[in-house]
Amino acid sequence: MKILHTADWHLGQLFHEYDRTFEHQAFLNWLIETINSEEIEVLLVSGDVFDISNPSATSIKMLYTFLREATAQNSNLQIVITAGNHDSASRLEAPKPLLESSNIHIIGTIEKNSDGSINYEKLTIPLRNKLGEITIWCLAIPFLRMGDYPSVANASNPYSEGVTALYREAFEFAKTRMSDNQTIIAMGHMHTHHAEISDMDKTERLIMGGVECISATAFDSEMKYVALGHIHKAQRIGGKEHIRYSGSPLPMSFSERNYKHQVVIFELENEITSLKTLEIPVTIPLLRIPLKAEPLENVLVELQQLHDKNDFEQAPYLEIQVLLEEPEPALRYKIEEVLKYKNVRLARIQPYYPNKKESTSEFNQQELLHELQPVDVFTKSYQAKYSAEVPEHLMELFQQTLIDVNQTEA
C-alpha cells in the first residue's frame, strides 16, 4: 500500500496578523494533486489540523471541502486524522457519525471502558488494500493529555512513562488482531528526545518544561512506520528511517524560513520500500532584510531597492533587522513610508542594540515592586533592555508623565 504522511497544517493560522487562507488552500490543492499523481492509498495526518481549538468557519469548511474532494477523486483513499495539542479533540471528532460509512477516520479523544481501561479498539484502525483485505493496522493515537495515558506506579516521569505504556499496550492489542501478512504502523503527536526544533517550537510546543519528551524506544521495533507530528522541522528520530516528523507544510515563524517543508511517501507491504520526500511548493516566501542587522540608514536604502507593488496576494512576508544605538520612536513610521508602494507585507521589525549585554539588572535580586519608586522601575527596565543610562530627554518625558498621572489621580 502507498502511504502519504503529513502533519501540523495549522489551518486558520495568522502570520503576524496576516490571513493565510490563500497559502493553506494552495497546499491542500497541491496535496490532492499529489495524492492523484502518486496514487496514494492512505493519507495520515498527525495532529494540529487547526491552529486553534475553536477554528473559524472558513478553516472548518476548508478541511471538509478537502476531505470531500480528495475522496471523490480517489474512491479507495483511506484517511486517518488524529488531534494535536492545538486541536479541540472533541470538536475535531464531532463529524464522526457522518463519516462512519466512509474511509475517513478521525481520532481526537482517548475513550475509557467501563472498568476505566483504555478502549484500544477505537485507536486501532484497519487499512485495506484494493481487494478489501486488511494489510495494515494503524495505531491512531492523538496528542495525549494528563489522564489519557496509563498510570505507572513509582514512575520518575509519569508523563513519558505513561505515554510509553500506552503505546506498548496499544501495540499488544493490535497484535491480537493481526494475522499473517499484516503489519502495524503508528501515529503520534509529541515531542521526542533529540528532535531539532525552531524558536517557535521552543516557545510554544514544549508543554511541561521538557519532561514530556518521549524516547524513540517507546515505539516497538516491530512497528513498520511511526508518523509523528508536533515538531515543524521534517526529520528522522533516533537515527531511524521509519520514525519521522513530516514537518509543517508552511513555515510558522521566521525561524522556520529555511526549512524544507515536505510530505513523506512510502510503500509498505511487509517492509517499507520506496520511501521518499516531496517538497511542498512555496506560495508566499519569507524575506529577511538585511540578513544581518545594519544601521537604520542602510536598511532604508536596501528597502528602496524592493520591487513596486504588483501581485500583493503573493507578496512576501518581510522581517526587518535593524541595528540601533538607542530606541527610535519613529522607527516603524520611517520603514512604513519606504514600503508604502513596495510589494511586500511588513510582518516584523526586529531591533538589535550593539551594547546590550547579559542583564545585570537589580531586578534579579527579586526586589518587590512596592519597594521601588516608578522612576526606579523605569530606569531599571531601560538599563536591562538597552544596557545604557536613560537619555535625558526620555527621563524628562517620563517625569512629566508622572506629574500628569499624579495630578489626574488627585
Q: What is the pLDDT of residues 239-260, one digit of tens each?
A: 899 999 999 999 999 999 899 9
What range defines the domain where residue 386 resides? 362-409
Residue with cell 501495540: 171
Query: Quick one: what percent of the chain has pLDDT higher than 70?
Result: 91
CA–CA distance, 375 with 352 (Å, rounded to integer): 25
378 and 291 within one domain: no
Q: What pLDDT does 221 receive?
A: 94
- pLDDT at residue 66, rounded to an integer: 97
Q: Are residues 44 and 160 in the same domain?
A: yes
Q: Is residue 238 part of a domain?
A: yes
**Of 226, 251, 279, which residue sits at a domain end?**
279
Residue 396 lies in a domain: yes
Average pLDDT over residues 80-93: 96
**Structure confidence by residue, pLDDT tens digits, 268-316:** 998 999 999 999 999 999 999 999 999 999 999 999 999 998 877 889 9
Amino acid 405: pLDDT: 80
3-state secondary structure the chain: CEEEEECCCCECCEECCEECHHHHHHHHHHHHHHHHHCCCCEEEEECCCECCCCCCHHHHHHHHHHHHHHHHHCCCCEEEEECCCCCCHHHHHCCHHHHCCCCEEEECCCCECCCCCECHHHHEEEEECCCCCEEEEEEECCCCCCCCCCCCCCCCCHHHHHHHHHHHHHHHHHHHHCCCCCEEEEEEECCECCCCCCHHHHHHHCCCCCCCCECHHHCCCCCCEEEEECCCCCEEECCEEEEEECCCCCCCCHHHCCCCCEEEEEEECCCEEEEEEEECCCCCCEEEEEEEEEEHHHHHHHHHCCCECCCHHHCCEEEEEEECCCCCCCHHHHHHHHHCCECCEEEEEEEECCCCCCCCCHHHHCCCHHHCCHHHHHHHHHHHHHCCCCCHHHHHHHHHHHHHHHHHHC
Q: Do residues 110 and 41 both lie within one domain?
A: yes
Domain closes at, from 240, 255, 279: 279
Confidence class of residue 202 from pLDDT cuts 50, 70 and 90?
Answer: low
pLDDT score recorded for residue 378: 83
316: number of Cβ within 10 Å: 18
The pLDDT > 90 percentage for the chain reads 70
Spatial distance between the Cα atoms of 44 and 29, rounded to a whole number of angstroms: 17
Q: Residues 150, 85: one domain? A: yes
In the structure grid, which three cell numbers stand for residue 103, read together? 474511509
| Same domain, residue pair 402 and 266 | no
Q: Is the peptide bond before 285 cis (omega within 30 degrees of 0)?
A: no
pLDDT-based confidence at 389, cuts 50/70/90? confident
Is 342 part of a structural domain of the chain? yes
Is residue 357 in a domain? Answer: no
Beta strands at 262-268 and 2-6: parallel, antiparallel or unpaired: antiparallel
Confidence class of residue 192 from pLDDT cuts 50, 70 and 90? very high
- Cα distances (Å, whole numbers) of residue 110 to 191, 237, 309: 19, 25, 50
Q: Greater confidence, 400 or 364?
A: 400
Residues 345 and 238 in one domain: no
Q: What is the pLDDT of residue 205?
A: 45
Query: Averaged over 388-395, what is the pLDDT?
Result: 78
Q: Are residues 181 and 199 in the same domain?
A: yes
Lowest mean pLDDT among 53-62, 200-209, 298-307: 200-209
Angle between helix axes 57-73 and 21-37 (nearest 10 degrees) is 10
Q: Are residues 89 and 70 in the same domain?
A: yes
Q: Given pLDDT bands bounded at 50, 70 and 90, which one contains residue 361?
A: very low
Check if the beta carbon of residue 252 is closer than 8 Å to that of residue 20. Answer: no
**Residues 217, 246 within the same domain:** yes
Q: What burial class does residue 257 get, using C-beta atoms within 10 Å of its C-beta: 0-12 exposed, 13-18 middle, 19+ buried? A: middle
Asked whether residue 147 is domain-assigned, the answer is yes
Q: What angle do CA 275, 277, 51 make, to 5 degrees?
A: 125
Predicted local distance difference test score (pLDDT) of residue 321: 95
The last residue of a domain, from among 253, 279, 305: 279
Q: Residue 151: is its pLDDT beyond 50?
A: yes
Instruction: Reply yes or no on whether the pLDDT at 53 is more than 50.
Output: yes
Task: Read off the pLDDT of residues 1-28 as tens digits, 9 standing for 90 and up.
Answer: 999 999 999 999 999 999 999 999 999 9
Query: What's the structural domain count of the chain?
Result: 3
Domain of residue 341, CATH code? 3.30.160
How confident is the model at residue 196, as a pLDDT? 83
Q: State the CATH number of the domain containing residue 35.
A: 3.60.21.10
Q: Are residues 217 and 116 in the same domain?
A: yes
Alpha-carbon distance of 64 to 83, in angstroms, equals 15
What is the arithmetic mean of pLDDT over 344-361? 77
Question: Is the pLDDT confidence value at 409 over 70?
Answer: no
**7 and 107: one domain?**
yes
Q: Is the per-residue pLDDT at 150 higher than 70?
A: yes
Q: Of the segments 115-129, 303-317, 352-366, which one has the largest average pLDDT value?
A: 115-129
